[in-house]
Structure 1
């Protein structure tokens, strides 16, 4: 077991050798990311994997972990909300909200406000699902109270270079579990909405097919 643990430790002496140039110039402009993708899945996966890695490394003190974890969690939650703007479901975010709010950093006012109805509309009417959504909303609003303009966690210091969380006792484990729960919920919503969008598309295709072949050509 000791040998396995040693093999899993990060080797910072490795040199990156992963650039492979293609014959098409457009394919040289991104790393492992579809040209049709907005980039959210790749970024969310990258953030979450780094979050888990840093949190689990015992050699890094909690004090040193705090700022990078909060920074990455804040960005991940924002991206998880923004990816729902791109959902393919029929009753998704309105075009007006999509065009004006999808680039905002404000979790409560702009992002959650516009995706909540989509989640509720497709989550069914069970009390359990509604309670879960309400709980996540409460958690997001608590983050918003600390970060109304979307800059507190993105930048660790104020404009006068004062750290925002100095002399505050914070439970890192609680923060990790709390924010991880939000990310898991939003990722689950994205997965469910993708599945629903596929079903809706199949229904449309079937309807269009029946309409086409049912046309009287005589």
Structure 2
């Protein structure tokens, strides 16, 4: 997910470039998703009753609350060499399925922004 968000952050689409996202961060929710999500929602069909964006937002926000330093899923221990601990048990298979689904949505958003960037480039060359 982090890599997909960084791929989106590197988009040539003007609305994404205007965000000036730091792609060196590991804070998926705070530094990547919170900046990209409003652009995704703005480009979504307002008449669409699909709640995919909200569901993805909720999932990434939940992961952000678990991994608030960006290292929980990257390293087996905290900086003080204590193993990471969860306050509640999780179903790793379900988490994996959700991450795959979110990654698919993010790949679709990346393709959409690439298309928009191509349209912008074409408009600039026509003028």
TM-score under structure 1 length normalisation: 0.52
Task: Go from structure 1 to structure 2 and tell me whether the alpha carbon gap of 1:157 and 1:200 turns closer, same or farther (over 3 Å shift).
Answer: same
Q: Does 1:197 align with 2:121?
A: no
The separation in 1 between residues aligned to 2:123 and 2:91, in whole angstroms, is 49
Structural mapping, 1:152-191, within 5 Å: 152-165=72-85, 170-191=90-111
Equivalenced residue count is 126
The separation in 1 between residues aligned to 2:43 and 2:66, in whole angstroms, is 30
Structure 1: 5+ residue runs without aligned partners?
1-76, 209-218
* 8 Å CA contact 2:2, 2:28 repeated in 1: yes
Structure 2: 5+ residue runs without aligned partners?
none
Residue 91 (structure 1) aligns with: 15
Moved more, 117-126 or 192-201: 117-126
CA RMSD of the aligned region, Å?
2.1
TM-score under structure 2 length normalisation: 0.84
Residue 31 (structure 2) aligns with: 110
Greater relative contact order (Cα < 8 A, sep 6+): 2
Larger Cα Rg: Structure 1 or Structure 2?
Answer: 1
Task: Go from structure 1 to structure 2 and tell me whether the alpha carbon gap of 1:170 and 1:135 turns closer, same or farther (over 3 Å shift).
Answer: closer
Residue 37 (structure 1) aligns with: none
Q: Does 1:125 align with 2:49?
A: no
The separation in 2 between residues aligned to 1:102 and 1:127, in whole angstroms, is 30
3-state SS of 1:141 partner: helix
The separation in 2 between residues aligned to 1:82 and 1:192, in whole angstroms, is 15
